[in-house]
Chain A
């Protein structure tokens, strides 16, 4: 069975600094998708970044980038130049593709200190 593990329940970062959130997963599939979602207090899940497993190049979206290590089944999120608005719960999620269900980690609560 596929699983997603986030080993950091809480993280904090100083404004303008860089922080990395960790995620590992387990699957026997060769083709799949990985996601980082942000959930602010408003509760709505917002897609931060996604990575297709067949792509070797790490995805980047402005200040957000991932370090995708397929052999190690690791998918970490790096947030550069952290802003107060980045404070939220961050969830790592896995999908085997073709619109199948998302499997989620337990989340990491990120605090950004001014």
Chain B
């Protein structure tokens, strides 16, 4: 079982550009959540996808958007990048239902210059 895999591991973008981060969930999982972790902070919830639809959304602007594919993999898109978007982006997968254990990938380190 490969667990949760994220790509790329590191990324450097210029302010104003757009970026797409990718996540493949743990085998058997159907729900994907994205978190932003700024340096020295705890993760902040961005949004969650289930059945290809956004189920929940945190306090992030519309520049942050996502998608879930039929195979449950997911993408996080960020438009018009700002310096403040520099962070570690974590993907977590889980099964819908009362069992709430989330499994995390190693994250994508995004640096905006």
B52, chain A: closest CB distance, angstroms: 16
A91-104 to B contact mask, C-beta < 8 Å, 1/0: 10101011111111
**A98 contacts which of B41, B45, B98 (Cβ < 8 Å)?**
B98
Task: Tell me the bound Cα distance from A1 to B108 in angstroms.
Answer: 29
Interface size class of B (residues with CB under 8 A): 20 to 34
Of the 9-residue stretches B20-28, B73-81, B89-97, which lies at the interface with chain A? B89-97
Among A42, A43, A100, the most chain B Cβ lie within 10 Å of the Cβ of A43
Residue of A nearest to B45 (CB): A101
Is residue A112 within 8 Å, beta carbon to beta carbon, of the partner chain?
A: no
B31 proximity list for chain A (CB < 8 A)? 99
> Shortest Cβ distance from A53 into chain B, in angstroms?
12
Cβ–Cβ contact B43 & A43, under 8 A: no
Q: List 26 A-B contacts (CB under 8 A).
A: A42-B106, A43-B106, A43-B107, A43-B109, A44-B107, A45-B104, A47-B102, A50-B101, A93-B42, A95-B100, A97-B98, A97-B100, A98-B97, A98-B100, A99-B94, A99-B97, A101-B45, A101-B48, A101-B56, A102-B35, A102-B45, A102-B92, A103-B45, A105-B42, A106-B40, A107-B41
Verify if A33 is at the interface (C-beta below 8 Å from B).
Answer: yes
CA of A57 to CA of B37, assembled, Å: 32
Known A-B contacts: A99-B55, A107-B41. Give 15 more (CB < 8 A): A43-B107, A43-B109, A44-B107, A47-B101, A47-B102, A98-B97, A98-B100, A99-B95, A99-B96, A99-B100, A102-B35, A102-B45, A103-B45, A106-B40, A106-B41
Q: Which residues on A are within 8 Å of B, measured CB to CB?
A: 4, 33, 37, 42-47, 50, 91, 93, 95, 97-107
